[in-house]
Amino acid sequence: MTISMYQASAPRFVNMLNNLSAVLDKAQAHADANKIDPMVFTSSRLYPNMLPLMSQVRIACDNAKGAVARLAGVEIPKHEDTEQNFADLKARIAKTVAFVQSIQAAQIDGSEDKVIVLKLGGTEVKFNGMQYLLGFALPNFYFHATTAYDILRHNGVELAKRDYIGNP
């Protein structure tokens, strides 16, 4: 049995983004219950040279919409980086999920050999579709989603693996 490029991408992004949104709900509830300014969480980072939670969520969303758009051959939606709180971050996630869900399987399936060109640090990098999805887009997406989870967990939000995995 083979798995389609669509099945390996869009549903996985949607599932994890929905889990990330639920994790943000738990963080907001934790902040409210403990009378903690939510900005403490959204500006937190694991290490001084790492990006804060707010950026991790933005980048996870950017990775999901960018990957699906590139594989489908459509324009990547532009989202301004203006989020200031959990509600804003959840709205960005919701916009990203809506975009990913707007792409049909037929638009992505068959993109295994499609040439994907990215500019990374001033260098142009070429991938075929499969290599891009499995070796670049998904690992980057999961890195940022995991880091967002880890920042909140590190700051005392009661989260477990089931919050991260959700309902696969």
pTM of this prediction?
0.95
For 100-122, how does the pLDDT look when each residue is reduced to its tens digit (9 = 90+)? Answer: 999 999 999 999 999 999 998 89
| 124 bridge partner residues | 119
Q: What residue type is 39 in one-letter code? A: M
For 115-145, how does the pLDDT look when each residue is reduced to its tens digit (9 = 90+)? Answer: 999 998 899 999 999 999 999 999 999 999 9
In whole angstroms, what is the distance from residue 9 CA to residue 108 CA? 9
In whole angstroms, what is the distance from residue 42 CA to residue 79 CA? 18
Domain layout of the chain by residue ranges? 5-165
Percent of the chain with pLDDT strictly greater than 90:
95
Model confidence at 70: pLDDT above 70: yes
Superfamily name and number for 5-165: dinb family like domain (1.20.120.450)
- With beta carbons less than 8 A apart as the criterion, state whether 40 and 155 touch: yes
